[in-house]
Amino acid sequence: MKKETVERLLKSGDIRIRQKDMERIKSLIKSAEINASIAKKIELNENSATLVFREIYESIRQLGDAKWWLFGYEPENHEVSLETLKEMSIKEKIKLNHIDRFRKIRHDANYRGYMVSVSQTEEMIEFWDKCGPDIINILLKEAKS
């Protein structure tokens, strides 16, 4: 993360300085893995799509939180949590461009009563399957450093 970006986010109150908390970081990563795994086991249909989508989205957000905690900051909103993931060097890096759209879909589902479609949820599951493991591996390596 660029120094100028961090300074801007601190000034705006979008992140706060925190001491690195390795237990919290590991817990966030583990929680993300477990929640996504369980969400993927739910039978996907038009009635369950919103629930599955939101849970996997939440797992992705937790990984973004873990990344910030590794930097020594706590994010104050989802946008900031997810922004740091977009800079990661993973095999399917191009898929990280979908994060903003996923955030908007989740926002509409939570605050506007929008029903997430099965196809949108399938896309979220595919994103998790292709990007989640790489992100987790990078975060775990950084946590050991």
Q: What are the chain's domains?
A: 18-144 (1.20.120.330)
What CA–CA distance (Å, rounded) separates 42 from 134?
23
| pLDDT given at position 132 | 97
Considering only residues 16 and 1, tell me which one the structure prediction assigns the higher pLDDT. Answer: 16
> What sign has the CA pseudo-torsion 102, 94, 73, 57?
positive
Nearest Cα to Cα of residue 88 among 137, 44, 123, 39: 137
For 21-67, what is each residue's pLDDT tens digit? 999 999 999 999 999 999 999 999 999 999 999 999 999 999 999 99
Banded model confidence at residue 2, pLDDT cuts 50, 70, 90: confident
| pLDDT given at position 62 | 97
Query: For residue 135, is pLDDT > 80?
Result: yes
pTM value?
A: 0.94
